[in-house]
């Protein structure tokens, strides 16, 4: 219980800090941004709003100007059940990637950020 309170408290501080220090979005030509937006429809980020690692991934998404759908995996949510069924475990952040008719589940914030930078950066 204490760990949960600490995590939420620290996460809240990180969340406010993120809003205050958010980096500028990457600028692209309209046609390129339209293609990015289309590509992002095949991605979904399963996350918790106050998780520091999720905040780190959302900052990278903002900086790269990626409109990726975020799905909260709070206890009792349908998205949490999807994450458990598809990814095999409930751990956030997790990026769901649909490519070539296959679905991959990528955990670990650094791996997710590296993937997004390589694909969209």
- 110, with CB counted inside 10 A (0-12, 13-18, 19+), is exposed
pTM reported for the whole predicted model:
0.85
3-state secondary structure 46-93: EECCCCHHHHHHHHHHHHCCCCCEEEECCCCCHHHHHHHHHHCCCCCC
Give the chain's domains with CATH numbers.
Answer: 2-24+32-120 (3.40.30.10)
Please, which residues have CB within 8 angstroms of residue 33's CB and are 6 or more apart in sequence? 65
H and E: helices and strands count for the chain: 5, 4
Spatial CA neighbour of 37 closest among 95, 121, 120, 113 = 120
Beta bridge partners of 98: 103
In angstroms, rounded to a whole number, what is the distance separating the alpha carbons of residues 105 and 115? 12
Residue 114 has pLDDT above 80, yes or no: yes
Q: Mind listing the pLDDT tens digit for each residue in 2-57?
A: 666 666 666 667 677 776 777 788 899 999 999 999 999 999 999 999 899 999 99
Q: Mind listing the pLDDT tens digit for each residue in 69-86?
A: 999 999 999 999 999 999
Residue 115 has pLDDT above 90, yes or no: yes
């Amino acid at each position: 219980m204490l760990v949960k309170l600490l995590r939420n408290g620290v996460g809240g501080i990180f969340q406010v800090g993120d809003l205050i220090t958010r980096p500028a979005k990457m600028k692209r030509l309209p046609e390129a941004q339209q293609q990015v937006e289309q590509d992002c429809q095949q991605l979904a980020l399963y996350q918790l709003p106050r998780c520091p690692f999720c905040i780190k991934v959302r900052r990278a998404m903002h900086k790269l100007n990626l409109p990726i759908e975020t799905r909260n995996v709070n206890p009792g949510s349908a998205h949490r059940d999807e994450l458990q069924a598809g990814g095999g475990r409930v751990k956030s952040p997790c990026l769901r990637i649909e490519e070539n008719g296959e679905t991959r589940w990528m955990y670990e914030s650094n791996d997710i950020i590296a993937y997004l930078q390589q694909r969209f950066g």
